[in-house]
Amino acid sequence: MEKHKVVIVGTGPAGLTAAIYLARADMNPLVIEGQEPGGQLTLTTEVENFPGFIEGITGPELMDNMRKQAERFGATFKTGWMTDVQTESRPFRVTVNGKEELEAEALIISTGASARWLGVPGEKENFGQGVSTCATCDGFFYRGRKVVVVGGGDSAMEEASFLTKFADEVTVIHRRNELRASKIMQNRAKENQKIKWALNKTTTEILSDNGKVTGVKVVDNDSGEEEVIETDGFFLAIGHIPNTAFLKDKIELDESGYVVVKPGTTKASVPGIFACGDVQDVTYKQAITAAGTGCMAALDVEHYLEGESTLDWSQTLSE
């Protein structure tokens, strides 16, 4: 069975930053990359807010660079899904793809959170070309234009308010008459003259022409009446789903499935397991915050292994 000091699960900015730090610290991390190598950033086009790139960089290029940087210092990669993990005793026993087993003295969970989708026609097809899951990332491109935000929670309110800095008109579409968002966020949005409301309406289709979003088809939930809201951009803000199904009953998760970490650290509820990036971040969900917590996880692992090692490090490679 393969034995490793550290296994990192997930290859977004959090996991790859942890890999860079741990590889440079001679920890030979093994990184397990799933079906979406590079994470959510590989689904975006231009990234203009990651420090260090004056003219911006594409999401796939940024992630490819991070991966190569980690490899340069000795990180190794394995393609597959971590399907199970035994957390009762250490070293942890990790199952990949339902059959292959590895041993790890420390584990970093950086499997991210996936944006929730409506599942309507035109949504995935126009992703990155008018359909976005991140106002902070893409709002800038809608200066002087019309956009819609779908959702009734705090994210929708925050994104709608943020988008009014650029767009001339922002319409919030929500499936109920009542918003879920906190009163303070609702009030802030309601006081904003640029925000229009399409409440109690179900989004049924995103319309586009020549690769550009042109409108959103909605149906009124009471009257059944259909209307098209013209728009240049469609922002999804209906929540995220943390990728933690394989961790259920293994470590503490909150009611939404996010990994609970000790505040100010990346330590999960089981000693030796650490979490970084969106999988433990309900609030910020930015590439740079993910990278920052990836660095924290690497340093936490280093301190942990210095203090509590149980493996014979002369035998850390495949037997």
**172 DSSP β-pair partners:** 149, 197
CA distance linking residue 112 with residue 242, whole number of Å: 6
CB of 310 to ligand NAP, least distance (A): 37
**Are the beta carbons of 83 and 245 closer than 8 angstroms?**
no
Instruction: Kindly list the distances between the CA atom of residue 195 and the CA atoms of 109, 203, 264, in Å, as whole numbers in the listed order.
Output: 38, 18, 36
CB of 241 to ligand NAP, least distance (A): 10
Query: Of these residues, 26, 64, 84, 134, which one is catalytic?
Result: 134
**114 DSSP β-pair partners:** 241
Query: Of these residues, 26, 137, 222, 295, which one is catalytic?
Result: 137
Nearer to ligand NAP, 10 or 242 (CB): 242
SS3 132: strand
Let me know if 137 is a catalytic residue: yes
Nearest-CB residue for ligand NAP: 153
Let me know if 138 is a catalytic residue: yes
CB of 53 to ligand NAP, least distance (A): 26
Nearer to ligand NAP, 169 or 278 (CB): 278
Nearer to ligand NAP, 68 or 176 (CB): 176
Instruction: Report H helices in the chain.
Output: 13-24, 59-72, 135-138, 154-163, 183-190, 287-308
Query: Of these residues, 26, 138, 222, 281, which one is catalytic?
Result: 138
CB of 315 to ligand NAP, least distance (A): 44
Nearer to ligand NAP, 62 or 156 (CB): 156
**58 DSSP β-pair partners:** 46
Radius of gyration of the chain (CA): 21
Binding site for ligand NAP (CB under 6 A): 116, 118, 151-156, 158, 175-176, 180, 238-239, 282-283
Catalytic sites, residue numbers:
134, 137-138
